[in-house]
Amino acid sequence: MTPFHRARRRRRGLGVLAALTGLLATLLLAGPAAATPDPDRDPTARTETSEDAGARTRAAIADGEIPGVDEIVHSDNITPLANIPREDGLTGTNSDIAFQGRYAFAGNYDGFVVYDISRPRSPRIVSQVLCPGAQNDISVSGDLLFLSVDSSRSDDSCASEAQPATEADSWEGIRVFDISDVRNPRYVSAVETACGSHTHTLVPERRDVYVYVSSYSPNATFPDCQPPHDGISIVKVPRNAPERAALSSFDVLFPDGGFPGDDDGSATTGCHDITAYPALDIAAGACMGDGILLDISRPEAPRVLDRVQDAEHFAFWHSATFSQDGRKIVFTDELGGGGAPTCNATIGDEFGANGIYHVRGRGDDRWLDFQSYYKIPRHQADTENCVAHNGSLIPVPGRDIMVQAWYQGGVSVWEFTDSDNPREIGYFERGPVNGDELAFGGAWSAYYYNGHVYSNDQKGLDVLRIDDRRTDPARWVRLSELNVQTQPTYR
């Protein structure tokens, strides 16, 4: 195969795109953390009153087609064990989760929360850290915790205030904390990166941690985010001296500029998210208009092995998950930026979905081969933001099973062992946050960790148990640490 090729995909008329539903204004609901495509090219844009959406939602609830407002429903094999509402201190959007030992570290636009999850039925809050900076994407490694800041701040401190990106002294990037005492996390250092840090990925070495920083959308009026922005920043953090964290390099991944964008798909101006599989020396990048496979055998110098595009179905390449053997990758499309109602019959099952790819070949001749799409089979209301979002593998030997958040579509457990015929095998969801008008809510991240599913929902931390013969073997797998974007080898 050539180094770049267009993915094989199902062909269908572009007329479907003209009928896609949504509201242009909803793209702004999730604030800076929403992976918002260019509104001029967003296929969810249409003119519709909130009264229309509300009327359809109320009718669907009355007919029993969807749950009532905030009503909890789930499949028989899913048991909700706990919900820990967020306390008054952190009122921003709940975002990603990382795990270490008996603790879960949950990001929030206002900072992060540390939960003791040693008793999954009764988690408790250990500490809360107020440190505003959307989206506070979060990872942990040993005694270190990392936060992504993708909103312009007056400085790098936790006392900073929002400030326009057009001002030269504005700050965005990576913050580093010492969590050797989880009851009192300590802010250690910060590194400014071009265009900030929307998300980040750890590639830990013994002495240092390499942080791949994903960011995008440069603008000539932003002094610290100038076009072209065709790669990722790499930050090096010495484990024994995290105060010396510094920018190592900016690596160009798209020397040709990447996907230029069209009527339906976003132009590539950086990456949204990267998932590394350090044991196999590979990574997968979801980069707006491109999906990429990387060789990371030299963490400080990643190399692109293959690029794919799916302009017909993918509006915004958002995130990636490897199968256990590393021979499959699930890429997600965040159609509508996470703020639009894209899980309905009008949009259909191939938009705002997952794309399943096989990794073919060996060595430098590896390439990505499209197989099929997966989207939750439960239609959501027109007042519910819903789209494919963050998830992780459920580590079952010999099977490919994933748990995944879909915002107000809830949490889906689905199997792609047969890549051509993926199917849902369990779910948990709440009814609409609002039955009258479109409102942001739902699960940002849903991950499997040491026997349970943990979801960072806008209503707080949900803990779920799945009882199913297909997933039961995963109960024997125990990890000491989990950052989903640094995928482990399960044993």
| Percent over 70 (pLDDT), the chain | 90
- In sequence order, which residues have a C-beta less than 8 Å from that of residue 210 and are 6 or more positions away? 202, 203, 204, 234, 235, 236, 237, 248, 299, 300
Q: What is the pTM of this model?
A: 0.92
pLDDT at 352 over 70: yes
CA–CA separation, 454 and 437 (whole Å): 28
Helix, strand or coil for residue 62? helix
Q: What is the mean pLDDT of residues 67-85?
A: 98
pLDDT tens track for 439-481: 999 999 999 999 999 999 999 999 999 999 999 999 999 999 9
pLDDT surpasses 50 at 8: no
Range in 50-54, 148-152, 165-169, 440-444 with the lowest mean pLDDT: 50-54
Domains of the chain: 15-482 (2.130.10.10)
Measured torsion, CA atoms of residues 158, 160, 165, 171, in degrees rounded to the nearest 10? -50
Mean pLDDT in residue range 41-68: 77
pLDDT at residue 34 tops 60: no
Query: Rounded to an integer, what distance in angstroms lies between the CA atom of residue 416 and that of residue 424?
Result: 9
Q: Residue 40 above 70 pLDDT?
A: no
| CB atoms near residue 436 (< 10 Å) | 15
Distance CA 185, CA 123 (A): 19
The residue assigned the tokens 């942080």 is 211
Asked whether residue 396 carries a pLDDT value surpassing 80, the answer given is yes
Q: Tokens standing for 313? A: 């179905």
Please determine, for residue 48, whether its predicted confidence score (pLDDT) is greater than 70.
no
Mean pLDDT across the chain = 91
> CB-based contacts of 380: which residues, under 8 Å, 6+ apart?
66, 341, 343, 344, 386, 408, 409, 432
Max CA separation in the chain (angstroms): 61
Q: Higher pLDDT residue, 485 or 206?
A: 485
